[in-house]
Structure 1
C-alpha cells in the first residue's frame, strides 16, 4: 500500500532534512564508518542521505515506488529498495542500526514490522521518531482542524503499544527522549508550524503533510484556514498557541536495543 503515492510528487518542496533532528538521530544510532544501516519508511531519502554523509553504509526502503524513484534520482550512495516493513528483503543480522522517522503509523501491524527489524539487526539500535496520540491532542491545530487531527492521532500508535510491540519483538532497554518543535525547524511536517502558524495557509506546505493531503476534507481546510488567518491578523493566535503549551514534548525519539547477550527471540 503506497500511502504516500498521492503526495509524493510535491513532497520535497517542503519536506527536507532538519539538521537538529538529523544530529539527534545520528547520536542515538551511534554511527560507525564501517557499519551498515537501514532507514525503514525512508520516503524520498532526505534523512537517509543526511545520515549517510555522517558515515556508514546505508540502505533505504519504502513501500512507495514513487518515493523510492525520487530517492534514486537524488543519489546512488544509498542502496534503495521498494518493500514493506513487515517483509524486509535483507539477510539476518546484517545491520548495526535501523532508523524510522515519522512512519511507524504506516506499518500494517507493529509487531511483525519490529520482528523483521529485530531479525535484520546484528546488535545495535532501532531509533524511531514519532508522535503519540496524547501529544497530538495537545497540538493547537486542534482549534482549526479538529477532525483531521483526530483522524491523524487515531492512526498513531500510543507509546504503550509501541513499547509492547518492541518487547514482543525481543528488543531491550527502550529509552524515550522528548522532542519539542524549534522555531527554525526546516522539515515542514505536521506540527512544524507550531511557532509559524502562517505556513498552514500555504497549499504547498499542506500538500506535503499527510494529515492535510489525505485526511482533511476540503471544507474543513477552507474553514480552518479562514479562522486561522483571522486569528493571525488579530494576534489571537498567540493566545491559542500559549493555551496548548505543555511539557510532554511534541514528538518522541524512541531508542530500542538489540544486545548480543539477549536470550530472547
Structure 2
C-alpha cells in the first residue's frame, strides 16, 4: 500500500491495538485454538497479534512491505505476507475467519477483494471494523478541517455499498454493531480524540492518521490547529463537541458469514 509506505515509519508511535476493540473482535470470531484466521490489511500487525492472544493460528497480509517488515520484527508467531486483498496467496477454504480493521477504504474495489476473502474462507465469519461517510460527516473535526474530512468521508464505502458487495459475492451479511469512541481509547486513529481534542495538536498523532498525513493540506492543518487550540484554551471546544453529538455511533462492526449449503 504505497500510501502506508509513506506513513509507516512512525506508525506504531501512536497506533496500537485497543484492548476493548480487540475483545469485541475476538467475541465475534469465537476463536478456536486449532482453527486458522486471516487479517487482511493488517498493517503492522497490532490487531493480528492482539487477536492471536485469544488463540487460533493467525496469518496477516498487507500490500505495504514496510508494514509487513515491521510486523515481522514484532513476532514470528503470525505468518506474515505482502499481498493485495484482490489476490490473496492462499488456497480455497483455508481460514475459519477473516478480519479487516480500518482498511476497506484502501481496497481498489470492494467486490474483487470480498470475492477473494470469500474464496479463502471455509464456512466462517468475515468481521470488518470501519466507518461510514455519514459517521465521518458527524465528527466534530469537520469544524476545523472541513476539506480533509470531506475527502476522508468521500473515500469511505457506504454501508449500503459494503452490504451490496458482501451479498454479491455470496456472504450472508447482517449484523451491524455500532461503536462509540471511549475516553481511554488506546489506538489513535482518526476520531480517537473525540473526547481528547488536544491530541490533534500533536504532529506524531496526526502523522499516524491517513486523513491528516495524506488528505489534508499543510495550510488547512496549520489553520485548523490554530483555531482548535484557541477553542481548547477558551473552553469553547465543549460547545463544538456537543454540537456534533449523535446516536449513529462513530464506527461500526460489520459481521458477515459464509454458510456452506450441503447438497
| TM-score bucket (shorter structure) | over 0.9
Q: Quote the residue 1:186 is aligned against.
A: 186
Distance 1:173 1:66 in 2: 33
Q: 3-state SS of the aligned residue for 2:167?
A: helix
C-alpha contact (below 8 Å) 2:166/2:173 kept by paired residues: no
Q: Check 1:212–1:262 CA distance in 2 against 1; reply closer, same or farther (3 A cut).
A: farther
Do residues 79 (structure 1) and 97 (structure 2) align? no
RMSD: 0.9
For 2:12 and 2:114, the matched residues in 1 are separated by: 28
Asked if the contact 2:37–2:56 (Cα under 8 Å) also holds between the matched residues in 1, the reply is: yes
Greater CA drift, 166-175 or 134-143: 166-175
Q: Contact 1:2/1:65 (CA < 8 Å) preserved in 2?
A: no
The residue number in structure 2 matching 1:145 is: 145
TM-score between the two structures when normalised by the length of structure 2: 0.99
Q: Residue 160 in 1 paired to residue 160 in 2?
A: yes
Match of 1:136 in 2: 136
TM-score, structure 1 as length reference: 0.98
What does residue range 50-129 of structure 1 map to in structure 2 within 5 Å? Answer: 50-129=50-129
Corresponding residue of 1:202: 202
Instruction: In structure 1, list runs of 5 or more residues that go unmatched.
Output: none
- 1:255 lines up with 2:255 in the alignment: yes
Contact 2:85 2:116 in 1 (8 A): yes
Report the Cα offset of residue 173 of structure 1.
3.7
State the partner residue of 1:5: 5
Q: Distance in 1 between matches of 2:48 and 2:248?
A: 27
For residues 60-100 of structure 1, the C-alpha deviation after alignment (integer angstroms, 9 at most, x for no partner) is: 00010000000000000000000000000000001000000
Write the deviation string for residues 226-251 of structure 1: whole angstroms up to 9, x where unpaired: 00000000000000000000000000
SS at match of 1:3: helix
Runs of 4+ in 1 over 2 A off after TM superposition: none
Q: SS where residue 59 of structure 2 aligns?
A: strand
> 2:163–2:173: 8 Å Cα contact kept in structure 1?
no
Match of 1:40 in 2: 40
Q: Distance in 2 between matches of 1:261 and 1:236?
A: 57
Counterpart of 1:226 in structure 2 is: 226
